């Protein structure tokens, strides 16, 4: 029987990029973009073969296969990872090693796996971690392992280790936490907590508390988003007071946003919009325009021209927007159409954000 698991794109609502600096963030999943992963158990239980099929192909067109899970782990250690299937292969290795170390028994039946994804690449929607998370959930289902056996915070850590430790890809916890927990999540990565426990304090918020009218825009041909954090990280590690103070301010913005979301407030949307603008301005100050990129700045400036608050959704390439005027302002629909038309001329896609529980 096929096991089908979905994992969704992530949008940073507030606080990013402080998550990599012992900060606080709020993120949510959106159903606009997702990974659909299918795990197909072998017909015979004694057949331990593991196969990674070509993406989106269930016709036994195989990219890579191993005689067993143990064989996969051994080959991965000795020969490294296959480029085409590295995310899946590394996920299997981390999963198997964690279960072995923690005396979680795994049966010997093998499987084949393939996935489809429509998450745009390199625009800060956490597409790679969505693939890993979907596969991780499928493996837990296949091997009958519950969240009690591997807690949600530990799952997020292990999913991060697939990219960060196994594949040497720069990555942070925020994406993995919200994709494991689902919905809308407040995350506190304070240093004492992280050192003592190895993970942050995570709180699911009511996704229905989000204001209506959030939208996202992203460039269709983005550049590599990995450069966004590089210089700031070095400055932070050198003890640059400007960067340290900025991260403290981002923490404050996140705390304020959480209070706005958990309390009924008629001016919720306007207050959140103001914080979104502040979040972006602070990010701009510490990164600089050259790092942020002209296309991203164009989207932000255009959004503000039509009275929308705007900020980055993640590491770059995509923008989150929210109306910054009065609820009964009759110009909102006109402004939306003007904004969309100008974005489309620059090959930038606009779409309404659809929160995912």
Query: Helix, strand or coil for residue 314?
Result: coil
In the three-class reduction of DSSP (H, G, I as helix; E, B as strand; rest coil), residue 51 is classed as strand
Q: Is 175 a catalytic residue?
A: yes
Distances in whole angstroms, Cα of residue 225 to Cα of each of 12, 114, 181 = 15, 26, 25
- φ/ψ of residue 327, rounded to 5: -60, -35
**CA–centroid distance for 3 within its chain:** 23
Q: Report yes or no: 25 and 254 within 8 Å, Cβ to Cβ.
A: yes
CB 348 within 8 A of CB 299: yes
Q: Give me the catalytic one of 57, 175, 192, 329.
A: 175
Burial of 74 (0-12, 13-18, 19+ CB in 10 A): middle
Say how far apart CA 202 and CA 147 lie, in whole Å.
15
C-alpha separations of 71 from 48, 50, 53, 78, 132 in Å: 10, 9, 18, 11, 20
**Residues noted as catalytic:** 175
């Amino acid at each position: 029987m096929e096991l089908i698991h979905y994992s969704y794109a992530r949008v940073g609502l507030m606080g990013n990029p402080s998550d990599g600096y012992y900060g606080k963030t709020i993120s949510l999943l959106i159903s606009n973009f997702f990974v659909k992963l299918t795990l197909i158990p072998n017909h015979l239980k004694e057949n331990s073969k593991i196969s990674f099929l070509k993406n989106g192909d269930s016709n036994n067109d195989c990219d890579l296969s191993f005689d067993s899970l143990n064989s996969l782990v051994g080959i991965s250690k000795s020969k490294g990872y296959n480029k085409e299937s590295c995310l899946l292969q590394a996920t299997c290795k981390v999963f198997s090693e964690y279960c072995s170390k923690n005396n979680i028994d795994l049966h010997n039946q093998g499987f084949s796996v393939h996935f489809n994804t429509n998450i745009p690449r390199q625009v800060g929607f956490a597409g790679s971690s969505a693939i890993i998370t979907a596969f991780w959930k499928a493996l837990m289902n296949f091997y009958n392992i519950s969240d009690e056996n591997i807690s949600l915070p530990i799952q997020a850590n292990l999913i991060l280790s697939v990219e960060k430790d196994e594949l040497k890809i720069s990555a942070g916890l925020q994406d993995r936490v919200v994709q494991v927990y689902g919905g809308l999540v407040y995350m506190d990565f304070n240093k004492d907590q992280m050192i003592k426990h190895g993970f942050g304090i995570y709180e699911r918020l009511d996704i229905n508390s989000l204001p209506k009218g959030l939208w996202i825009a992203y460039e269709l041909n983005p550049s590599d988003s990995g450069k966004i954090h590089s210089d700031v990280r070095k400055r932070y590690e050198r003890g640059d007071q400007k960067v340290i103070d900025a991260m403290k301010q981002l923490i404050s913005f996140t705390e304020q946003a959480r209070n706005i979301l958990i309390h009924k407030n008629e001016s919720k949307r306007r207050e959140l919009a103001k914080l979104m603008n502040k979040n972006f301005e602070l990010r701009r100050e510490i990164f600089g325009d050259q790092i942020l990129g002209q296309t991203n700045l164009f989207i932000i400036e255009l959004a503000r021209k039509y009275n929308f608050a705007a900020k980055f959704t993640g590491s770059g390439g995509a923008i989150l927007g929210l109306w910054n005027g009065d609820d009964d302002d009759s110009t909102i629909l006109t402004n939306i159409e003007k904004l969309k038309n100008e974005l489309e001329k620059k090959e930038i896609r606009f779409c309404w954000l659809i929160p995912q529980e």
